[in-house]
Structure 1
């Protein structure tokens, strides 16, 4: 499926607000009778009893689909032969049974390239992690050093193989459960992607020699490889190469899931604005995109232009927060803008 970008229309307003890219044409209202679907991102709790109550509460609250955090912090919530288990019980087996009983669409929220939080979070490091997997910035820093979020690099062959085995395992063991890709991107806090495997592959593919940082000594000058033109590693070529690493990994993971028998919905959480390195509109096999908007005021959904057209294949991602607008108000607004389906972050059940 291909996703269309929207046409420029009110760029001045977007720039003035400081929140958007070029604006777009007026939204197309939904046709009467189009069913609404509302997904909710959920992290499985520590006990099976609480997970069951949470899923039941989600259905009673009107949600039709659940994006259940299933590969996160480098661990899986099912009995995997690839990754260690995150919890003391098989949360996916339980969730699958409850979702089937309650009529919920179930999808595994797969935190693709984010494997390791900083030690300050108090979360044990996954056995899957190797420092050699970490993506590097143009200054030779890891994302742990920059943002306290440990990302692996999509160009590392072992990373690709391990992730492909995981999505294949999901498709084989739970074919009815959908695959929801998240963190399928480079960290945004700096210019990342300078992993040795990426630099080597870039050289082999283009014949260009990309400069890499030679020194990280305090006070020393640091190269910015992506902006150097000698002896030939230009910005456009390097950007295109890194974009292709993300697109290629998306294709591999979706393909391995489908080839193993997975028949659920394939979706992805993506940036709400354009990112030249996350070309999700051209990811082969992606069926639904969930751009993360998380605007603090519903009015911004009307004022800030979206970078995608209305339709059933784009589920805007919204956030519930203390003191914010009620869910019903936000849903009604987005439905009116032509989006029948919405994804919700920040919902918590009112459990006894």
Structure 2
């Protein structure tokens, strides 16, 4: 019962329905999803990890967690890929990243566990950055439709740089915080099949990140008068850039941060980091071609957009999740 309740808090599939609604509420100011993603989700994920590790000595649910983490990761990136509302893209991206964290815990290895811990920190920084960027874009362009947001780098260069930094952290680019956490989780995965599934989720994050990156280029169709009236305040832009810079700094000094915060020495060799960098470049290239193909052809995942759980549906999903989890625990004892 306790684990089911915590799974709702972290928005693990299929109890994720509340998160997109909370993040994309029209009445909520842009700061709300940034706080939810940066603080609330981090606290909930930490609680989830503590609950899982507390009972790991008597109940082994690693297989169950891996399956649920993989489903959350895949479902989240598919939804993020086909959405056009920038808030919903980032909301379903959170569902996908939660799946990665759960997979790290499910590996049952030291590297996987600490990779999940570090990814909680990394996610709070790069996702807060992206939501703050979204707030700047909403004030300037007056829309959340990414197809109508163009020329960010030329019109709002500071915001554009922050967007790039946030996306690099999200996708796990070398030297950024996401690279350390994903490299650790990848090092903790002990079968080839699991490693392939892990990289599928990473590939998904690259695909929808490239979709967001399209906002950086193109021509801003807003008039000069409207652009000047909607220009974000300078202090807000620099705060956003500061959060974006932290995604890089926490990657460059990730080893020292882990030692300072958790008294844990990261066990990543130069060979392991090089392997992660090569894998990232391969996935980036593959993601680029896939993203172009998706935009030029009919979207085969359109029907998934219709999966919006109502309150009653979420209650039924929670009951089903509890029954499956309880049954798995019973047979694993």
Q: Which has the larger radius of gyration?
A: 1
Which is richer in strand?
A: 1
TM-score (norm 2): 0.30
Which is richer in helix?
A: 2
